[in-house]
Structure 1
Amino acid sequence: MPIPSESNELCYLSASAALQLFRQRELSPVELLNAQLAQAEKLEPQLNAFSAQRLELAMQAAREAEQRYARGGAPLRALEGIPVALKNEHTLCGWVTTKGSWLQGNQPDTVNAPITQRLLDAGAVIHAQTNVPEFYMAGFTRSVRHGVTRNPWNLAMTPGGSSGGSGAALAAGMTTLASGSDIGGSIRIPASYCGVVGLKPSYGRVPVTPIGYALHTMNHIGPMARTVADCALMFNVVNGPHPADPATVSPKLEVPLAFAPVKGLRIALSYDLNFYRVHEDVRRALEQVAQALREQGAIVEPVALDWDERAADAVLQRLGYETGREFASRILLQDAPTSDYIRQFAADGLKVSGEQYLATNEVIGRMYDSMARLMASHDALICPTMASIGSSAEGESDSSAILRSDAMTYPFNLLSRHPVLSVPAGVASNGVPIGVQVVGRTLDEGSVFRIGAAIEAACWAGRRPAL
């Protein structure tokens, strides 16, 4: 494999290609990290994707990886020397995980999150912490603590949220891999708007801490990358049972990194999940995806779902009752500046009654029944990730409005056992990428990667923003 001759090309090298070059001694982890640090130095003033960097420790880790490759006979780990950015949620000892809020103070982390530890154990070089909206409660990335994060494809537009910094950093070539979390679409929204790949794993696949988050069935932690293969590679590292999370499932799953053809698969197609108003650019991109899958031998057929706007009510009532009330108490008890949308979310949460919260189970049950009938005769469902082609980088004062109208992601947080992969499939008229979701049967990550790889090969093929 020829080594890229320019620094900018190095920045966009896939993890899979980088690992091969490292093993062949044609590229050093130090060279790759230096290229991405230089890219960040150039672009960060415009993008604001990072809330922190750990340059000295990252360079030390890259040099240690370089030495492991140089020794030849030393055992090499799955991500040896690969740069990874952590979402400002996944704790790392000595770092300050702010969650995008001044309410968190400045106390250094004293424990590594399970995903952090697994990345370190796999040889990853963690070099940056990525920006988030306050307490992750927005589909854009803005906070009073860390400012506004912008989309590398169109600086006026949002990269999405809440893993918006991770999406922007990947799209801009400032990291090779990144972590994300997804409680209503927070991996898939930025994956869609930034033209990268993001997986919401099945609930229980990737360990979550603390225990309150682990038992929140809408909450998922997962990988983000520029390619489906890299996303699968990272998923294989971070998934599996963990003693701190009683919800994690056994055994650990190893998905194939060489994807079988999609010929013969039966794939359901929905343009609107029965209740979204979908932009014409998004519809066209999904039709192109469907046609590309048909040309590869898959059977792709439109289906009807009996879902409606009660799904939006259910997700906002569950989030409001379980987390909005917590934020309300913290905002009232502490004197610190907070973002407008988190105050609105907290106020809305106080209005949700116990009866409304319990009634969401009936809505979720009906949706699961509908999905079970669909999956009995199909291997997967494809649909848009976002109904819109983006919104302003600054977002709104009420984050629930954007979630309700634009994000076609949250139904699959209610149906949390279904894995969902967002894959880039085109670019809208405003320059913002368009993502397609691949929804698998429960606990079947292998199929979503398989179908996602077919979409990527036909419809995306490594496009990047003109920075």
Structure 2
Amino acid sequence: MTGSHGELAHLDAVTALRAFRSLELSPVELLDAVVDQAGRVNGDRETGINAFTETFFDEARAEAERAATAYLRAARDEEPTAPLLGIPVATKEKHNLAGRRIEQGLAAHAGRVAAEDHPVVERIRRAGGIIHARTTTPEFSCATVTHSPMWGVTRNPWNLATTPGGSSGGAGAALAAGMTTLATASDIAGSTRVPAAFTGTVGYKAPYGRIPGLPPLSADWYRGDGPMARTVADTALLASVMSGQHPADHASWGPQGAAIELPEDPVGALRGTRIGLSLRLGDFPVEPEVEAATVDVATRLERAGAVVVPLDLPWTGDQVMRTIFAHFGHILAPAVERESGGVETLAPYAQRFIADARRAAERTSLLDSLALDAAMQRELAAAMAEVDALICPTNAVTALSAEGDYLNGIDIAGQHHDHYWQAHLTSPFNVANRCPVLSVPSGKAENGVPTGIQVVGHPHEEQQVFRIAAAIEALTPRIQWPTLTPTA
């Protein structure tokens, strides 16, 4: 299989698997391209992309050689192969690898070692995926920027002054830079979708429980683990491998390995689909470039035969922030505080998160927070009653600073907001966490950073969001991956 170095490093998994099976490409060639790309462009923790916490390149190459042998045998004997056999996968650091460190960016966890694989890691390995690296996060995955004293600053390959987003920032940066083919992520307020949008990649927040997690925090109904990739088809592939009931997670459900089917002609399949359009999900401010990219996607969908219906939601920024921080104040913030060994040891953004969440929990009981959740869920269901899915921006801004803490809030479209999480239109769908949501690219801003659009489905209707996302991908001009200067 021919192609330049960068083209092979950015090759999608579906195409690679097809080439593996036809023996046009070896898993060793793909892994070597990805590893070489990482060596060329990842750089250091101060000024580079810095997307990895740990790498296993030698072990991965041995696995790739075994995969190549397996493909030769399968071609000779006409045998099927495992669904991810030979594909490089970078895992988010919080996803345990047995016998490897599990630190989550916390000084109190330095040197801690995982006893067992996370369920998604277990399934990726069983499916033949090759885990060659682990990706950076902010401390305990509680920010939408990715930097920490432990791992340094992770930067966006599209614009090194900006963040790839968070908390799965290392995953998005590695995908955009061609340093992995697939990646794992997680999402409790947008931690998959925010970096997907900022890096021009695809991120999926599955319905709660569809992809298993680890207790006790797997019981948090806002959270979920999931896939990131460079295409909708690759994201569907990894989601199908990760999904399904698992004994470690009592909330997990559904069949294991069930394929998410995409239509052969996603644009043709779009005809007659009713899609709701909300540019602000109520009163979220949205920067003009983001709004223009979202309107452009909606126009393309309408021209292709979809029925685009403007939707109004009664949500306010204050309502959303009150709802999510009451929830975090009773679950996530106490977990971060306990695991960190003391708030004073944390990065400023983590200290700010805990302080805000603690105050919210003091004002609102857990029981009352359930009522806040239910109100937003009811309002979303009413707004979507006459449509098949909803589209809206992923992020309200075109970028965040790579090193920013945003302790004093953020200015968005001429308005000041007390908390920088209001720069993302993602957390309402963690409140409504039975809804599947995909973030797919919608364009690129003048600062060089991509923009993204969310496709939100009715509870548990995964096929619909993937079908619409595939159509958006086919209708939206693909921006070329960033040209990166090799590091010394």
TM bracket (short chain): over 0.9
Moved more, 383-392 or 314-323: 314-323
> Could you tell me which residue of structure 2 aligns to residue 281 of structure 1?
289
Higher alpha-carbon deviation: 414-423 or 92-101 = 92-101
Please state whether the residue corresponding to 2:203 is helix, strand or coil: strand
Shift of 1:113: 0.5
Decide whether the 8 Å contact of 2:200 with 2:450 is kept in 1: yes
Shift of the 154–246 alpha-carbon distance from structure 1 to 2, 3 Å rule, reads: same
The answer to whether structure 1 residue 107 and structure 2 residue 116 are counterparts is no
Shift of 1:403: 4.4
Tell whether the 8 Å contact from 1:324 to 1:348 is kept in structure 2 after alignment.
Answer: no
Q: Which residue of 2 aligns with 1:344?
A: 352
Deviations for 1:374-404, whole angstroms, at most 9, x for unmatched residues?
3321100000000111110012153985543
Deviations 1:106-133 (A, max 9, x none): 1222200000010000000100000000
Q: Aligned letter for 1:68?
A: A
In structure 2, the partner of 1:137 is: 142
- Letter of the 2:379 partner, please give it: S
**Match of residue 359, structure 1, among 358, 361, 368:** 368
The yes-or-no answer on 1:44 pairing with 2:53 is no
AA of the residue aligned to 1:302 = P
Pick the aligned partner of 1:311 from 320, 330, 337.
Answer: 320
Aligned match of 2:226 in 213, 222, 234? Answer: 222
SS of aligned partner of 1:424 = strand
Distance in structure 2 (CA, Å) of the matches to 1:330 and 1:88? 16
Task: Provide the residue aligned with 2:58 in structure 1.
Answer: 56
Counterpart secondary structure, 2:392: strand
User: What's 2:82 paired with?
Assistant: 77
Partner of 2:443: 426
8 Å CA contact 2:147, 2:153 repeated in 1? yes
C-alpha separation in 2, matches of 1:406 and 1:374:
22
Contact 2:441 2:451 in 1 (8 A): yes
Structure 2: distance between partners of 1:415 and 1:5: 43
CA distance in 2, matches of 1:105, 1:53: 17
Listed as ranges, the gaps of 5+ residues in structure 1 are: none
Contact 2:326 2:364 in 1 (8 A): no
Judged with a 3 Å threshold, the aligned counterparts in structure 2 of structure 1 residues 331 and 170 are, in CA distance, closer, same or farther, namely closer
The answer to whether the 8 A contact 1:90-1:112 is kept is yes
Alpha carbons 1:137, 1:399 under 8 Å: kept: no
Q: Give the structure 1 partner of residue 433 of structure 2.
A: 416
Per the alignment, residue 68 of structure 2 pairs with 66
Change (3 A) 1:8 1:441: same
Deviations 1:227-249 (A, max 9, x none): 00000011111101111111112
Offset at residue 221 of structure 1 (A):
0.6
TM-score of the two chains, using structure 2 as the length reference: 0.92
Matched, 1:461 2:459: no
1:354 Cα deviation (Å)? 6.7
- In the TM superposition, 1:291-330 aligns within 5 A as 291-309=299-317, 310-330=319-339
Return the letter of the residue paired with 2:396.
A
Structure 1 counterpart of 2:199: 194
Q: Distance in 1 between matches of 2:434 and 2:455?
A: 14
Following the alignment from structure 1 to structure 2, what is the Cα–Cα distance between the partners of residues 178 and 34?
Answer: 17
> Does the CA-based 8 Å contact 2:108-2:341 persist in structure 1?
no
Rounded to whole Å, the distance in 1 between the matches of 2:150 and 2:467 is 40
Output the CA distance in 2 between the equivalents of 1:223 and 1:333. Answer: 32
| Structure 1 counterpart of 2:413 | none
- Return the letter of the residue paired with 1:51: T
1:236 aligns with 2:245: no
Any conservation in 2 of the 1:144–1:337 contact (CA below 8 Å)? no
1:125-274 alignment runs, 5 A limit: 125-209=130-214, 211-252=215-256, 253-258=258-263, 260=266, 261-274=269-282
Report the more deviating stretch, 63-72 or 344-353: 344-353
Structure 2 counterpart of 1:245, which letter? D
Q: Which runs of 5+ in 2 are unaligned?
A: 410-417
**What residue in structure 2 maps to residue 7 of structure 1?**
5
Higher deviation after alignment, 59-68 or 402-411: 402-411
Q: Which is further off, 337-346 or 164-173?
A: 337-346
* 8 Å contact kept, 1:138–1:399: no
> Contact 1:204/1:249 (CA < 8 Å) preserved in 2?
yes
Please tell me whether the aligned partners of residues 237 and 259 of structure 2 are also in contact (alpha carbons under 8 angstroms). no
Rounded Cα–Cα distance in structure 1 between residues aligned with 2:328 and 2:41: 35
Q: Percent identity?
A: 42
> 1:350 Cα deviation (Å)?
3.2
Stretch of structure 1 that moved more, 88-97 or 218-227: 88-97
For residue 100 of structure 2, what is the aligned residue in structure 1?
Answer: 95
Offset, 1:358: 2.9
Check 1:403–1:449 CA distance in 2 against 1; reply closer, same or farther (3 A cut).
Answer: farther
Q: CA deviation at 1:12?
A: 0.8
Letter of the aligned partner of 1:268 in structure 2? G
Q: For 1:444, which of 452, 457, 461 is the aligned residue?
A: 461
User: Within 2, Cα distance between the matches of 1:409 and 1:346?
Assistant: 20
Cα distance in 1 for residues equivalent to 2:290 and 2:357: 32
CA deviation after TM superposition for structure 1 residue 226, in Å: 0.2
Displacement of 1:44 = 1.1
How far off its partner does 1:370 sit?
A: 1.7
What is the CA distance between 1:348 and its match in structure 2?
3.1
Alignment deviations for residues 132-154 of structure 1 (CA, whole Å, 9 cap, x no partner): 00000000000110000000000
CA distance, structure 1, for counterparts of residue 442 and residue 156 of structure 2: 17
Q: Kindly state the Cα deviation for residue 332 of structure 1 after the two structures are TM-superposed.
A: 4.8
Q: Which residue of 1 aligns with 2:385?
A: 376
Contact 1:344/1:397 (CA < 8 Å) preserved in 2?
Answer: no
- 1:451 maps to a residue whose letter is I
One-letter code aligned to 2:386:
S
Aligned counterparts of 2:314 and 2:220: Cα–Cα separation in 1: 26
- The alpha-carbon distance between structure 1 residues 116 and 329, as it changes in their structure 2 partners (threshold 3 A), is closer
Three-state SS of the structure 2 residue aligned to 1:353 is helix
Task: State whether residues 341 and 399 of structure 1, in contact with CA within 8 Å, keep that contact through their aligned partners in structure 2.
Answer: no
Q: How many residues align?
A: 463
Contact kept, 8 Å, 1:139 with 1:402, in 2: the verdict is no
Aligned equivalent of 2:415:
none
SS at match of 1:47: coil
